[in-house]
Structure 1
């Protein structure tokens, strides 16, 4: 018998599907859209070392219709959360942000908006607008943290520190805006202990969701050069699965898991090759949690 409380499909962690069905009482699908924003790091010529240039030539309208066509084949009755997930989606003037967000929210069957951004791109003016938006729709803000360790943040050229991230979370939560955090496992120089410390720290914050990624190396990134010069050890699939299970065991069970592994650009992927088989990784996590007779939060102190 599965001892985990927040499930209806025998998962041993708090899935996004479970959260959406509980909250909205129907199928919710995410539409990932590229609003063609930039990023302060890129504009200053110092992108994060893993940053990989990508561009969708389609307009937001075209992207919306293209994705709806795909989703309707799978879930004809679904409603949608629009996800602005490429680059830094608060990195513009307020007039531009209003225009883009409200265009997306005006689309048929879109009942919420998720905005991916950086913790250093949330001015008081933008927070005030997000508060207004949150009163009219289902708003979530996703923040890239990657790690709590400032030494690593400096190495990967994030351009912000942990204090900046803490302030962003505090400002968003003061205005009742849901927060999802991104972290990366396997960053150069990080031990298992350091990666578990990131989870322990997140338990102390008022966050609602988590995305866990495995570091992967893509062509034409600074990380590619760094890897060639330093040959740091990347996690194996077995190590990654074991680590994620350790992290889940320590994580507050109320925090919703939005992702447990990434979707790399396979065309430009250098290493590790095993992350391409996402389903195998997810099945491996399920299997290990079952074999441990464990679940999200089993070892949490929350």
Structure 2
């Protein structure tokens, strides 16, 4: 009988190039595109839409000038113009992405620039329903601020999420109130916690945008 050597008893190192993580990918993080593939069984593309919203720290409700880091023109595709209807932006967005994703036929309307819940409920219904009525749209991704939702809006979005894929993306940026004040966010982290907790309570899919490495932050 052969005796096992101490070398045999050692755990073999994992080949990181072959390791598959619990989310089914070899990358050590669950990418958004991989998440969508698992959710829908195929690639789904987000289409940015500019519905003409603004923000409470731009229009004077709580301040002017917006956040210190914010420049919506930096990420808005050329077809995104609030003067165009939601339907026109979706049609042009599909053409815009075809050169890169020619096999994609399912899309999420991404209400992206500014705060896309910062209006009355009837305006939100009209805009969201127009997007959802497009035959290639299977859901919405709604970018907004945590201080731009309330129970009425969250109840409505929760109702929508029963029939469509709906993701609320909150601008969190930081969990430190001093940092939030420094970057002119105009809200506190407690407001962020409330918005996320109330969204999760209603089983709304919820995401967050966080800026790592802001001045004076270490962790």
Superposition TM-score, scaled by structure 1 size: 0.60
Mapping for residues 13-28 of structure 1, pairs under 5 Å: 13-28=29-44
TM-fit CA distance, 1:53? 5.6
Listed one character per residue, the Cα deviations across residues 201-230 of structure 1 (whole Å, up to 9, x for unaligned) are: xxxxxxxxxxxxxxxxxxxxxxxxxxxxxx
Listed one character per residue, the Cα deviations across residues 176-198 of structure 1 (whole Å, up to 9, x for unaligned) are: 001111011232222xx33xxxx
Among 77, 80, 83, the residue aligned to 2:107: 80
Question: Closer, same or farther in 2 for the Cα pair 1:104/1:142, shift >3 Å?
Answer: same
Unaligned runs of 5+ in 2: 1-14, 74-79
Structure 1 residue aligned with 2:135: 108
1:29 maps onto 2:45 in alignment: yes
Give 4+ residue runs of structure 1 displaced > 6 Å after superposition. Answer: none
Superposition CA RMSD, Å:
1.7
Question: Closer, same or farther in 2 for the Cα pair 1:140/1:93, shift >3 Å?
Answer: same
Structure 2 residue aligned with 1:51: 70
Structure 2 residue aligned with 1:66: 92
Among 164, 188, 211, the residue aligned to 1:161: 188
TM-fit CA distance, 1:49? 1.8
1:172 maps onto 2:189 in alignment: no
Do the aligned residues in 2 keep the contact of 1:72 with 1:78 (CA within 8 Å)? no
Among 24, 29, 41, the residue aligned to 2:57: 41
TM-fit CA distance, 1:77? 4.0
Do the aligned residues in 1 keep the contact of 2:51 with 2:111 (CA within 8 Å)? yes
C-alpha separation between the residues in 2 aligned to 1:65 and 1:154? 39
Mapping for residues 218-297 of structure 1, pairs under 5 Å: none
Unaligned runs of 5+ in 1: 195-302
Among 179, 182, 207, the residue aligned to 1:152: 179
Structure 1 residue aligned with 2:163: 136
Question: Higher helix share goes to which structure?
Answer: 1
Question: Closer, same or farther in 2 for the Cα pair 1:71/1:51, shift >3 Å?
Answer: closer
Do the aligned residues in 1 keep the contact of 2:47 with 2:108 (CA within 8 Å)? yes
Q: Rg larger in 1 or in 2?
A: 2
Among 16, 22, 27, the residue aligned to 1:5: 22
C-alpha separation between the residues in 1 aligned to 2:131 and 2:96? 18
Q: Which SS does the other structure have where 1:40 is aligned? A: coil
Listed one character per residue, the Cα deviations across residues 37-77 of structure 1 (whole Å, up to 9, x for unaligned) are: 01111011432122336472433222211111133342334
